Amino acid sequence: MIKIKKNILLIDQHDRDGIYAKKFGGSYVPETLKKPIEDLTKLFQKLRYDKKFIEERDYHFDNYIGAPTPFIKLQNLTKHLGGAQVWAKVVSDANGGAHKIYNATVHCLIAKKAGKKYVVGDTGAGYAGKMLSMAAKKFGLKCKVFMGAKDIKRQKPNVDAMKKNGAEIVPVYSGSQTLVDAVSECMRYWVANCQSTHLVVGSTVGPNIFVKICAWSTAQISRELMIQMKNVFGRIPQRVKLINCVGGGSSAMGFWNEFMDYSPKQVEFVGVEAGGPTNSKHHAAPLSNNAKIGILHGSKQYVMQNKEGQISETESISSGLDYPGISPLHCFLKDAKRAKYTSATDEEALAAYQLVTKLEDISPSLEPSHAFSEAIKLAPKLKSSIVIVVNSCGDSLKDKFIIKKRLGSYKR
Ligand SMILES: Cc1ncc(COP(=O)(O)O)c(C=O)c1O
């Protein structure tokens, strides 16, 4: 049985090669990238323990991102479901509307320290790209974003935001024209431009250093939540369920990090993957469907693949979850039985979006709507002393055209 060590951050529980639990992660990159990755690893290792850098990061988290984001009780939803209490960490209130701002801000600060003038990143839902374009503009960096052509069409509001911020958007026409192809093209670009350009991987995926930087950045979410829960309840309640959608896994890692050493009986982690349209065979849910281990984007992980090991195409109403792989950190959590993973279909996510927006004054995007769907399934079966917290990690505005098409109208 794989064990998680206590008092050591999960991102530091890998071996010399960046492998977690002897089987996930690593850094499988072309020779050209070995040196830039080594340099970035050394720089990050220095900066993360540098008091001045932490002060700088916290200054921007507070005064640019607007930390802390609210932690609120969803009174009407709780009453409607008639069981466990349902709360939300409204991360969509962060500047830009989603958790991707933490990773983008930290990466731009690192890029400045590395003396780089250009940043390049991938995006699916457009939030990673939008946030990178915002942070790049703020810190005076030139920004390029790779995005699947299918996602460019379905996430227009975020595409417009990137353009407004002066980012160059490179449409990706290969493969399924979604996130997986955007990440591949972005990494390919970096191979040829790594001397001048800093790479920003938009989730806790990719070669190990990018997994670490991203999870380290989003951990702000659970740092805040820990304080907020203690303020509200006087302590961390006896039974808590932290429910988060999972694409690459960055918001879930950030939401859970501080609670890692609690017993799973007290603080349970539930990850919700994208089941795609009802009965889809192309779902983007490797953890809840026992996918096999493979290598994608430079790291070993459970990944949707065919018999020959070729990466499978996926489909989901939410671009942000439409990804065949998953962070090695989540593979580790799954095998250590620290987190449970399940999935929600497109239809379930839409229904959850409808119910939450009808009863409450928050408007989750389709990614966190997957997490709300699980909360809606669980709450009625549980006692009112149990506290469910959903990470409402993105704002629905980016999905307004999809929602209008599927449900007939969209109101913010
Ligand atoms: C709002 C939102 N939530 C969730 C995700 C999924 O990514 P991750 O699992 O890295 O948080 C995305 C990705 O674009 C997103 O935009």
Q: For 328-348, what is each residue's pLDDT tens digit?
A: 999 999 999 999 999 999 999
Q: For residue 123, what pLDDT is reported?
A: 98
Nearest CA to ligand 1 atom 10: 250
The string of pLDDT tens digits covering residues 342-398 is 999 999 999 999 999 999 999 999 999 999 999 999 999 999 999 999 999 999 999
212, 40 contact by CB (below 8 A): no
Nearest CA to ligand 1 atom 7: 247
Indicate the average pLDDT of the chain.
Answer: 98
The string of pLDDT tens digits covering residues 86-116 is 999 999 999 999 999 999 999 999 999 999 9
Residue type, 96: G
Percentage of the chain modeled with pLDDT above 70: 100
Atom of ligand 1 nearest to the CA of 251: 11
Nearest CA to ligand 1 atom 5: 320
Atom of ligand 1 nearest to the CA of 365: 1
Q: Which of 99, 186, 329, 363 to mutate to test the pocket of ligand 1 (most atoms within 8 A of CB)?
A: 99
The Å distance, Cα 301 to ligand 1 centre, comes to: 18
What is d(CA 306, CA 315) in angstroms, rounded to the nearest whole number?
15
Residue type, 3: K
Mean pLDDT of 201-214: 98
Give residue 411's pLDDT band: very low, low, confident or very high (50, 70, 90).
Answer: confident
**pLDDT at residue 1 is higher than 90:** no
For every residue of 74-132, DSSP letters joined together read -HHHHHHHTSSEEEEE-GGGSTTSBTHHHHHHHHHHHHHHTT--EEEEEESSSHHHHHH
**pLDDT at residue 406 is higher than 90:** yes
243, 389 contact by CB (below 8 A): yes
Nearest CA to ligand 1 atom 13: 320
Q: For residue 412, what pLDDT is reported?
A: 76
The Å distance, Cα 251 to ligand 1 centre, comes to: 6
Q: Which protein residues are within 6 Å of ligand 1, measured from CB?
A: 98, 100, 124-125, 127-128, 203, 245-251, 320-321, 365, 367-368, 393-394
Q: For residue 260, what pLDDT is reported?
A: 98
Backbone angles phi, psi at 242, to 5 degrees: -100, 110
Secondary structure letter of residue 63 according to DSSP: I
Q: For residue 181, what pLDDT is reported?
A: 97
Atom of ligand 1 nearest to the CA of 247: 9
Backbone angles phi, psi at 116, to 5 degrees: -85, 145
* Whole-prediction pTM: 0.98
Q: For residue 387, what pLDDT is reported?
A: 99
